[in-house]
Amino acid sequence: MHSSPMARFNIICFLGIFNVLLLIKKGDAFEFKVGGSQGTWAVPADPKSSEYNQWAERNRFQVGDSLLFVYAADQDSVLHVTKDDYTNCKTTSPIAKYSDGHTVIKLNESGAHYFISGVDDNCHKNEKLVVVVLADRSKRSPPPAPAVETPPPSPAPSGEESPSPPSDEGTNPTAAPSQEASPPNNGVSSIVRGVVGTIGVALLGSSLVLAI
């Protein structure tokens, strides 16, 4: 039994839209549960180990990702602190404090971010975390500043001759390149790959439908 042209067209459109949605999903930010999928924010089983930092070193954090801290709200809390307060387990003046038991913190800036337990004793038992967020490479570099034009020489005073311009003889200026190499654009390449993938899936879907 053969499908009608309209049915084949609808199936092709559906496959194309589905592929685009998959591409968009891949670009979404990621939420990391601190300590792993089964982990919780608590004193490590071995208080002498840097359990949370070892977990962080196994992951790759980027701007836009977020951290999920799960803990008992009536027994613990999360403090976002400076490097010095992290080192000294100082809990009195945090950058931010969270105590809802299910804290989600979005990583909006690159660099190192420091977190400790709001309970002094817990922090001293290594309930603390350093997360290094990678710089956002998707942003384009700012355009170069416009060239500053050199002002023309001032006219010579009355009665004096103006100095002669330098002679071009004997000089061999380097010829300007015929074409400058354009820097790679990762964002454009990703879009092109996405479009090509969409077209490929659509063509594959068309071939399958026509074979029905």
Q: Where are the beta strands (DSSP E) in the chain?
A: 31-33, 61-62, 66-70, 78-81, 96-98, 102-106, 111-117, 128-134
- In Å, what is the CA distance from 88 to each residue of 76, 119, 120, 125? 18, 13, 10, 12
136 or 207: which carries more pLDDT confidence? 136
Task: Tell me how far apart the alpha carbons of residues 44 and 67 are, in angstroms, rounded to a whole number.
Answer: 18
Structure tokens at 121: 């004793």
Q: With bands split at pLDDT 50, 70 and 90, how would you rate the model's confidence at 10?
A: low
Nearest to 43 by CA among 68, 76, 10, 73: 76
Residue pLDDT, tens place only, 134-149 = 986 555 445 556 555 5
Residue pLDDT, tens place only, 82-97 = 999 999 999 999 999 9
3-state secondary structure 108-162: CCCEEEEEEECCHHHHHCCCEEEEEEECCCCCCCCCCCCCCCCCCCCCCCCCCCC
Q: Are 50 and 126 in contact (CB under 8 A)?
A: yes
pLDDT of residue 195: 45
% of the chain residues with pLDDT over 90: 48
pLDDT of residue 29: 85
pLDDT of residue 28: 67
pLDDT of residue 20: 42
pLDDT at 50 over 90: yes
Residue pLDDT, tens place only, 97-126 = 999 999 999 999 999 999 999 999 999 999
CATH numbers and ranges of domains, the chain: 29-134 (2.60.40.420)
pTM above 0.85, yes or no: no
pLDDT at 65 over 50: yes
Task: Tell me how far apart the alpha carbons of residues 61 and 7 are, in angstroms, rounded to a whole number.
Answer: 44
